[in-house]
Structure 1
Amino acid sequence: MPIRLAERNPRVPKDRLLAELVPPPRFADVSFESYRPDPAQPSQGEAVEVLRDFAGHLNRPVRKKGLFRKAGEPSGPGGVYLDGGYGVGKTHLLASLFHAAPGPKLFATFVELTHLVGALGFHDAVAALSSYQLVCVDEFELDDPGDTVLVSTLLRNLRDEGVRLAATSNTLPGKLGEGRFATADFMREIQGLAASFESVRIDGEDYRHRGLPKAPDAWPLDEVRERAGKPGASLDHFVDLTRHLADVHPSKYGALLDGVEVVCLEDVRTVEDQAVALRLVVLADRMYDRDLPVVASGVTFDEMFAAPLLEGGYRKKYFRAISRLDALAREGAGLSE
């Protein structure tokens, strides 16, 4: 019998939630040595040296705020912000910093961090993360005011506890494809934390948005069901799965996929509701992290999000999800060869 994701509601202990916040598999083995700076862009090589130096300071304690801190006493480097356009290796460098740093340490996307706070509660999240040497936040989202305030407050509390911080950010919705630098936007959004961050600018070629490659064709329904009969496959009707995701906290979506080797979906449909669409984005990210092939009938993934969603403030999320699901669908197509 195939696995039914829509029948799972895993219980994930706090220790597992924290333990899984590490660079995704595609960045599991990167390092400063494996980063290849463009000789024509000196800032890339300079960024590596700044981050090496930052990693070297992580064994030195940062003085916490309090009665015993002397006025003017240096507290060491508090944070670095990697700022650059598309395709310059910000995530590679952030993951390299993570690997070079002493533990305990944490690497999370902005979305994963907000989900962690939602799962634990704000005060418990602060307590859980305060013992970390380093917290890395990839793709700090400047387009979500509510979550931005939440995460900025969390990071400010962690900074007060002596935790070092490192971050990259995404691009504001109206600036997609411009390869712009976002330091001013980032520093404004983190407000009281800005003085703790050193901005590390990374110049490079601007890989402008060129559209998505054609999505793989959908599978016939009978072939989806046939493929789902093999070991390690899940099988769900698309509507059942989208309804079930509303009842599972997004922090558990990774655990939802435990033991799954291939995701099979019946009757994928175009989604118009933004809440449903954003949950699918998170699921797509967890599937992509695990490199799970997808076999699906219905509409192709480039038609899964309605046009108004692709024109709205979260369009970058949706285009990323389409690109990732298309890549997994291509892997799924290879299963029939």
Structure 2
Amino acid sequence: MWASRWMRGWSRRSTAPLTGPQCVAAVEAYAAEATFSLTPGQRGALSGLANPGARGTYLFGEVGRGKTWLADAWVRALGERATVRRLHAVEFFQGLNRGPVGHVDETIDDLVRGADLVLLDEFHLHDPGDAMLAQRVLNRLWPTGVRLLLTSNYAPEQLLPNPSFHHLFEPSIVAIRERLDVVEVGGDTDLRTLGGGASAGFASGTWTVGQVEPSDPSDAPDQAVQFTFAELCSTPRSASDLLDLARRHVAWRLVDVPRLVDTDPQSRQRFADLIDVLVDLDRRLDMTSAHRPDEVLDVADAEGEVPRDLARTGSRLSLLTVSGGRGRLCA
């Protein structure tokens, strides 16, 4: 796999400290270790990350351009020069929403306590409530000197795109532009579609098309937990609930996955949220469906809302190995 989560286990303090051009060279070496070359878009963004005067960096670009890999590699290269707090967007909002009522600032302080650098991955804002929380976090952090490294599929101006609410976040968009280096990670190719395989984690998973025969649960990798789509995605669960489940189980099976066009908007969004948290925690996922991934994700004729980040879902599912015909999954 072009950008396997080979660094998933990096600690908040690791390796020898590096600076400036040495960090750039280290990131290039990490790419060589993973047997791929940095894209021109990644190289351009790497130059932005190396800017010594930056208060932080906002990396944005289309899905699958290597933003998360680049951010994680940069953190690894920094080594002991920085104590890092890494949060996925779902984990970030979960932490804020679970804090004591009326003590948001204290919760923010707890989330970033002791950090020199906060890496917030997959930063996106569609909900006005989340946007107001994010704005409060940014306003709390700006005076502290804590550096920020954000990755997003959206330019700052595209955050909270609903025109009825966009103005609420505009002050923070201006601040992001003024305080952070905003760098696009460009490119014409979704790198996840290049394949390459993986021996563990999400990218080692499979998508089996067709009928499924029951088998002994002991055949499941790492004693995978199994759900039907209806059990997991068609019952009331928040993204935070899915994150809690993903933390408890390292291998997953999701069976009887329908076309999303045949489900309700809430089920579609839960499916997209599930893929997000499983990828971020690098959990193996084996799926079975009567349909191929592109057929499941085709929502052109869907009634009601569809997930705004479905392109990211499709990009991530392209990491799975697809096979047709009959397969074997746990009963």
- Give the shorter-chain TM-score range: 0.5 to 0.7
Partner of 2:71: 94
Q: How far apart are the structure 1 equivalents of 2:323 and 2:245?
A: 21
Change (3 A) 1:287 1:191: same
Q: Report the Cα offset of residue 46 of structure 1.
A: 5.4
Partner of 1:126: 108
Partner of 1:19: none
Deviation larger for 326-335 or 238-247: 326-335
Partner of 1:165: 148
Partner of 1:112: 91
2:246 aligned with 1:242, yes or no? no
Which of 49, 57, 80 in structure 2 is aligned with 1:80?
57
Q: Which residue identity does 1:246 align to in structure 2?
A: R
Q: Which residue identity does 1:127 align to in structure 2?
A: D
Q: How far apart are the structure 2 equivalents of 1:26 and 1:80?
A: 23
Q: Report the Cα offset of residue 133 of structure 1.
A: 0.9
Partner of 2:307: 314
Aligned-residue Cα RMSD (Å) equals: 4.2
- Matched residue of 1:120: which SS? coil
Q: Deviations over 1:35-87 (max 9, x none)?
A: 5455xx5x854543442354xxxxxxxxxxxxxxxxxxxxx742222245566
- Matched residue of 2:189: which SS? coil
2:11 aligned with 1:34, yes or no? no
Question: Which structure 1 segments of 5+ residues have no match?
Answer: 1-22, 55-75, 172-181
Q: Which residue identity does 1:52 align to in structure 2?
A: A
2:286 aligned with 1:294, yes or no? yes
Contact 2:209/2:322, CA 8 A, preserved across alignment: no
Q: How far apart are the structure 2 equivalents of 1:148 and 1:24?
A: 31
Partner of 1:273: 264
Q: Deviations over 1:268-325 (max 9, x none)?
A: 464532222222212222333435141424444444454455996734x223324434
Partner of 2:5: 25
Contact 2:242/2:277, CA 8 A, preserved across alignment: no
Contact 1:218/1:299, CA 8 A, preserved across alignment: yes
Which of 207, 211, 229 in structure 1 is aligned with 2:189?
207
Q: Which residue identity does 2:307 align to in structure 1?
A: Y
TM-score, normalising length: structure 2: 0.64
Change (3 A) 1:273 1:150: farther
TM-score, normalising length: structure 1: 0.63
Contact 1:130/1:161, CA 8 A, preserved across alignment: no
Q: Deviations over 1:11-45 (max 9, x none)?
A: xxxxxxxxxxxx9825548934335455xx5x854
Question: Which structure 2 segments of 5+ residues have no match?
Answer: 11-25, 32-36, 160-168, 196-205
- Matched residue of 2:29: which SS? coil
Q: Which has the larger radius of gyration?
A: 1
Aligned residues: 272
- Matched residue of 2:225: which SS? strand
Q: Report the Cα offset of residue 145 of structure 1.
A: 4.3
Contact 2:57/2:149, CA 8 A, preserved across alignment: yes
